Every structure is written in structure tokens, then in C-alpha cells.
A and B are shown apart, each in its own frame.
Chain A
Amino acid sequence: MTATAHRSAKTTTSTLMLKSDGRPPWYTPDGKNLPVYMVGIAGGSASGKTSVARRIVESLDVPWVVIISMDSFYRQLTPKESRQAFENNHDFDHPTSFDFATALRVLQDLKQGKATHVPQYDFTTHSPSKETQHVYGASVVIFEGIFALYDPTILQMMDVKIFVDTDSDICLARRIKRDVAERARDPLGVLQQYDRFVKPAYDGFVRPTMNNADVIIPRGLDNQVAIDLMIQHIKRQLDERTATIMRPVLVDRYCSSAGLRDTLVTLPQTNQVRAMQTILCDCSTLRDDFVFYSDRLSRLIIECGLGQLRLDKKTIETPTGLPYQGYELSSVVTGVTVLRAGGVMEKALRSVARLANYGKILIVGDPKTHEPRLHYAKLPPSIMQHRVLLMDPTIVSGANAMMAVRICVDHGVHEESIVFLSLLATPQGVHAIQTAFPKVKIVVALLDPHIAKDDLLIRSGYGLFGDRYFGTEC
């Protein structure tokens, strides 16, 4: 891409996240992430890489896919280079124009399923923009650009490598047409830049990466047969690595004799706690009472959960002039609620923690299999430095809880900084969380082993908590 085209590149693709449906589990029952499927698409300028990438995405029917463009990784220019760039005199098609180290870091994060920040390039200033784009949750990552198949470490991460080999006459013709029509440039200038930068870079650096490709697609998007074959291949590979069905696996793995680890804290079973649990477990309790006692019990759970956080010693002076040796909470607390029911406990956290941050995760059961599916996750950007209280009123199979913990860990939160709060948990569910995430603390008000076996392991002693609280029972 030449300097001017570079500057006015409206058609350049930056990061594109596509979501069509909830995301099924992307990790094993042991809580470990499966490697994300990666596709690399290289080819000359205007060869149709982006169109091929989009066609693949459209045909795959995978819920969360991200297309990362090489353009995001143009490196910071030196002052001299920057002047050249403004004079249309800098070679943006040379491999040294790219920050491969950052590209590698971003792709490695995505490969491991972690949340990451993709740089954004400001084509008006020829420099990386201060803003970055937060990307999380892709099951398939497509990396496209002229040097997508150039760096050996990046190549190793790719599950399939495609080179789009469009005839250079066609590429040049497209380029002239595009630059003249969309960028108000004269054909001669386009040709000059083509001669000077684009063509030498293609011959010297881009074309040789064809040897790294698994598949070469001649004629780009016009080659329907080659693209279809490619899509078939990718689909087959994706099917092979789909995560197993979670709920039954998690529940079946529990044997009561194994006992639970001491990361589980059960609220002292006082008269009041037992009486509140009795009201919540009673199928004849009216909604007014169900709401009132859920709220009241939530508050006790929150207090107990905050009590699990590390505190630092602090001495203060009282109004009588005497010292008092106390403690203070020096870390930032973030409450993360698993919607919809977790929102109930957020209210309780708000009433005790004034300066807490709040994150929200929406996990919905698949209508057929009841497998958890992630629909939405929004967490504070600095959450990796916070203590996190994860809240969901019930833990049944533990499948939703595991997904919620996994999301926090993917966002850089330390496992030992997470406290999971619940009003009622089954030992099976607690066991599932403890197996996958042995350092996460779990605070519950009641441990009750009953799980409804009839409908895919989502009901426990309270019935369906959210429906009873919000009044949406069938």
C-alpha cells in the first residue's frame, strides 16, 4: 500500500468482531482453555484477502469470530520517516513498516483465549492511535494482511494458512480503479507508486510467503470451488475440537466421599440463616417474601464475602485522642454479576461497598441442551488489579459458574483474587469449580445436594431462582 493510499485508506479493514449467537464453552471441564482456531490469509495488495476472509466467516456459522488486519500493526515511524510519509515517500509495503512483536503478542493472547487490546492505526497522522480495541471471546481468529504468513512464530500458531494469488494485472487494475474512484488520485501517480514500492515489496517479500501457505487460492473470491473446499476443511477441524457437553460431565465427576476443599466457606448456620433458607426453599413462599429474604440473605453473604479479602493493618486516632489498631481494605473491589439472577446480589453489594466497580456477564442456557452460552461480558478495564466478587445466587452443576470464572481469568484476574458468592450451592457444583479453579474462594449460605435430574441439571433447592425472584415462572 502506498503512502497516499495508506493515508486515505477508508476501505482498509481494522479489527472486526462478529457475533451471531451465544458462545458455547471454549474450555475443558478442567477449566483449561482450548486453543483458538486461527486462519492466516496473505496475498498481494488488492488481491481480495479481505473478501475471502469475510466469505469464510459468513460460511462457517461460528458464533464469535474476529478478523484482525495487519494494518493494525503498522509501527510508530521515526520523525524522519514520518516526514517522508507525509511526502508520499515512505515504503509502507516493506516488512520493516510493521510491528511484528505487538502482532505476535495480540495473536498469542487470542490463541490462548485471553482478552486483549488490538492497536488501532491512525492513517491521518501515520502513527498508532492512542485508542486500542478491546477484543475478547473469539472462537475463530482470522489474521489477514500482506505479511500474514511472514513471521515464523506467527506461522506456528496458524491452523490453516491461505495465500490468495490473484494475477498482478488484476490487482493493479483494481488498485487504479479504487484509488481513482474512491481516493481522487490520478492514474499516473498510482502507477508510479506501484512501480516504486508495491511491486518490489510484493516480489521481494510477499510472494515468497506463498511457500508458507497450506493452500493457494488463485483468482481470489472468484474461485468459488477453492473457497468452498477450504471452508469444508475448516468446518471439519472445528467440529473435532468442540467442547464437550458440560453439565452432566461436571455432575457425574463428583463423588461425595471425595470431600470438598477448604476454599469453600459456608455461612454459619444460625437460626436466622436457617429460617431464611427455609422460606426460600419452601415452594409455597410468595414472591414478596422470596424477594425480601433473598435480599436479606444476600447482604449477609456479601458481608462474609468481603471478609475473605485481604486487609492491611492501620492505626487511627479516635475523638478521645487515643489510638485504635484496626484494618483497612486497600485493594479495589469489583463485583461481577452473572445475569440475570446475579443482579439480585449486586444490589446487596451496592448497599455495603460504596466505591465498588461492577462488571456484568450474561450467560444463557442453550434452549435445547441447556449448555451455558456466553452472550455478553463487560468488565472494568483494570479488573486484573482488583479483588473480584463473582455473584450468582445458585450454583447447580457449576457450569455457569465455571464459565464466569473462566471469563474473569481470561481478562487477567488472578484466580486467588476471586471470591464466588452464592446463596445456595450443590456440593457437585462446588466440586466442579474447585476442580477447575482450586484457588477460587467460594462462599455459600447453604449446601444442598438436590439437583433435578429430569431437566438437564439447572434446578436445585430453590427451583429456578431468577424466575421466582423476577416472577417469570412458566
Chain B
Amino acid sequence: MSLSSQAAEHPRLHQLSQTNQLKALMTIIRDKNTKRGDFVFYSDRVIRLLVEEGLNYLPVNDKEVITPMGVPFQGVSFQGRICGVSIMRAGESMEQGLRDVCTSVRIGKVLIQRDERTAQPKLYYSKLPKDISDRWVLLLDPMLATGGSAMKCIEVLIEAGVKEDRILFINLICAPEGVLKMLEKFPSLHIITAEIDESMDAQKFILPGLGDFGDRYFGTED
């Protein structure tokens, strides 16, 4: 079994429905000839779908309401108490998608970069909501390659008191190696993604991937 299908079949890895419609969106954002306006627009569209899907893993309470026709309706209600945490800088591209569905949601930010001497990810900055330990956390970073920064970030969250099973890591594309490593290291973490790719190259770029998401989204390519 290939690494990709192992990752895809992992019970704590949740892929968006692999419809042709989703593939059509991914085709646009993966295409190297796509202009930035389209890249941003269609990335935002996929991010919105990812956020909607991620929220489905939050618990709900049963709730009965009375409809305008006076008939009871058996529904559910949100439990609330969530926050977003974005890994700077690419993760910030996903914040608006979260705000669009959860207005006035609290959002923490973390800056993690690779330490050139040790080649290990290093925490440079973090600002998290004070009561984060009581909340569910949607961790935002568009690309999961080796998972180095995301794992570092989860350690930071756990130190801040967040329960591991309340972390949902949301990304657009992931490499199977990174997925399997992360799910093994954090046995109750859930990952929500749009597509799982084949592998990584020597520079740890996802293949076929879409290049550097942050550069393409924020327009800082060479």
C-alpha cells in the first residue's frame, strides 16, 4: 500500500469529498500559470470548504426548537468555545475563511521558523487567547509537508493547556510522510485536508504540490 493511501485511510485524517468539483478548484490553484488574483480567489474558496468541514468535528448539543408554524423541530446547537491559531505567515491566509463562518472568533498567532544552525523548527513568537485551554483549536497552515512547524506549534498549544483531542489541524494539501508522522506523534489529533499528494522533494516541497503557498498568496515570489 502506498504512503498516500495509508495516509488517506487513517481514521483521524479527514479529506474533503473527492468530487470533480473540488478537483476543478485544486486544478486552478495548482496550475503554475494561474494568476495571483485567481490563486487567492480559489484558495479562499477551498479554505471556506475546509473550515466548514473542520467545524463538523466539533461536538453539538441536541436542541428542540419551535418553527414559525408552531411545530417542534429536532435540531442541534453549537457548543461554541473555539478559537483559531494560525502559523505565520501562510496560515494567516486562512483566517478570513474562519472569520466568515464564525464571526468575532478569537485567533492566536504563532511564528515558527527553521533554526539554521540546528535545522530544527524554532518558536520565535506566539500570542494565544488567555483561556485557550478551555477551547477547541482550529490550527491553520495551508501546506503540511514534513509537519515540522505544525508539530512544534502543537507542542506550544499543549504547553498552554490545550487538550490534544481538541486540536483540528486544517490544511489544503499534505504530503503522506508528514501526515503519518504527525498522527503517530499525537494519537488524538485530527487532520482535515483537501488532498493528499505523492511525496516531497529534497527541499521538502510537496509533489506535485502547488509551489510556495505563502509566496503565491501574498505575491512575494521572485
Cross-chain contact B73 with A322 (CB below 8 angstroms): no
Residues of B within 8 A of A381 (CB): none
Cross-chain contact A275 with B78 (CB below 8 angstroms): yes
Q: A283-B68, A296-B101 are in contact. Are A311 and B20 (CB under 8 A)?
A: yes
Cross-chain contact A278 with B75 (CB below 8 angstroms): yes
Residues 222-254 of A, flagged 1 when their CB comes within 8 A of B and 0 if not, give: 000000000000000000000000000000000
Question: Interface size on B (CB < 8 Å)?
Answer: 50
Cross-chain contact B76 with A278 (CB below 8 angstroms): yes
Main secondary structure of the interface of A (DSSP, over half): mixed
Residue of A284, A324, A461 near B30 (CB, 8 A) is A324
Tell whether A155 is near chain B: CB-to-CB under 8 Å. no
CA distance A240 to B132 in the complex (A): 72
CA distance A299 to B100 in the complex (A): 11
Tell whether B26 is near chain A: CB-to-CB under 8 Å. yes
Tell whether A459 is near chain B: CB-to-CB under 8 Å. yes
Cross-chain contact B75 with A318 (CB below 8 angstroms): no
CA distance A333 to B48 in the complex (A): 21
| A95-151 at interface with B (beta carbon < 8 Å) | none
Residues 205-222 of B, flagged 1 when their CB comes within 8 A of A and 0 if not, give: 111111110001000000
Residues of A within 8 A of B76 (CB): 271, 274-275, 278
Tell whether A450 is near chain B: CB-to-CB under 8 Å. yes
Cross-chain contact B56 with A272 (CB below 8 angstroms): yes
| B178-222 at interface with A (beta carbon < 8 Å) | 201, 205-212, 216
Question: Interface size on A (CB < 8 Å)?
Answer: 45
Cross-chain contact B209 with A318 (CB below 8 angstroms): yes
Residues 271-307 of A, flagged 1 when their CB comes within 8 A of B and 0 if not, give: 1101101100111100000001000100110010011
Cross-chain contact B69 with A460 (CB below 8 angstroms): yes
Cross-chain contact A284 with B65 (CB below 8 angstroms): yes
Residue of A274, A296, A316 near B75 (CB, 8 A) is A274
Tell whether B103 is near chain A: CB-to-CB under 8 Å. yes
Cross-chain contact A278 with B73 (CB below 8 angstroms): yes
Q: Which of B71, B201, B210 has most A Cβ within 10 Å?
A: B71
Q: A275-B78, A318-B208 are in contact. Are A281 and B48 (CB under 8 A)?
A: no
CA distance A323 to B73 in the complex (A): 49
Chain A residue at minimal CB-CB distance from B51: A272
Residues of B within 8 A of A450 (CB): 67, 69, 71
Tell whether B55 is near chain A: CB-to-CB under 8 Å. yes
| A428-474 at interface with B (beta carbon < 8 Å) | 448, 450, 452, 459-464, 468
Cross-chain contact B211 with A272 (CB below 8 angstroms): no
CB of B78 to closest CB in A, whole Å? 5
Cross-chain contact B207 with A322 (CB below 8 angstroms): yes
Tell whether A328 is near chain B: CB-to-CB under 8 Å. yes
| A178-207 at interface with B (beta carbon < 8 Å) | none
CB of B204 to closest CB in A, whole Å? 12
Tell whether B58 is near chain A: CB-to-CB under 8 Å. yes
Cross-chain contact B56 with A271 (CB below 8 angstroms): yes
Residues of A within 8 A of B205 (CB): 320
CA distance A281 to B65 in the complex (A): 7
Residues of A within 8 A of B21 (CB): 303, 306-307, 309, 311, 327
CB of A450 to closest CB in B, whole Å? 5
Cross-chain contact A462 with B68 (CB below 8 angstroms): yes
CB of B222 to closest CB in A, whole Å? 12
Cross-chain contact B68 with A327 (CB below 8 angstroms): no
Tell whether B32 is near chain A: CB-to-CB under 8 Å. yes
Residues of A within 8 A of B28 (CB): 328
Tell whether A270 is near chain B: CB-to-CB under 8 Å. yes
CA distance A316 to B22 in the complex (A): 15
Tell whether B27 is near chain A: CB-to-CB under 8 Å. yes
Chain A residue at minimal CB-CB distance from B70: A283
CA distance A462 to B20 in the complex (A): 32
Tell whether A79 is near chain B: CB-to-CB under 8 Å. no
Tell whether A352 is near chain B: CB-to-CB under 8 Å. yes
| B73-94 at interface with A (beta carbon < 8 Å) | 73, 75-78
Tell whether A169 is near chain B: CB-to-CB under 8 Å. no
Residues of B within 8 A of A278 (CB): 63, 65, 73, 75-77
CA distance A323 to B78 in the complex (A): 42
Tell whether A314 is near chain B: CB-to-CB under 8 Å. yes
Q: A311-B21, A460-B69 are in contact. Are A319 and B75 (CB under 8 A)?
A: no
CA distance A329 to B211 in the complex (A): 23
CA distance A462 to B23 in the complex (A): 34
CA distance A450 to B55 in the complex (A): 29
CA distance A306 to B206 in the complex (A): 29
Residues 330-367 of A, flagged 1 when their CB comes within 8 A of B and 0 if not, give: 00000000000000000000001010000000000000
Tell whether B131 is near chain A: CB-to-CB under 8 Å. no
Apart from A318-B30, A318-B208, what are 17 other A-B pairs with CB-CB below 8 Å? A270-B53, A274-B76, A275-B77, A278-B63, A278-B75, A278-B77, A281-B67, A281-B75, A282-B66, A311-B24, A319-B216, A320-B205, A324-B30, A326-B24, A328-B24, A461-B69, A464-B68
12 pairs across A/B with beta carbons < 8 Å?
Answer: A270-B53, A270-B56, A278-B65, A282-B67, A300-B52, A316-B27, A316-B33, A317-B33, A318-B210, A459-B69, A460-B69, A463-B67
Q: Which 10 A-B pairs have the closest CB atoms?
A: A278-B75, A463-B68, A326-B27, A319-B211, A322-B208, A307-B21, A282-B65, A316-B31, A327-B24, A270-B56
* B residues in contact (CB < 8 Å) with A: 19-24, 26-28, 30-33, 41, 45, 48-49, 52-53, 55-56, 58-60, 63, 65-71, 73, 75-78, 100-101, 103, 201, 205-212, 216
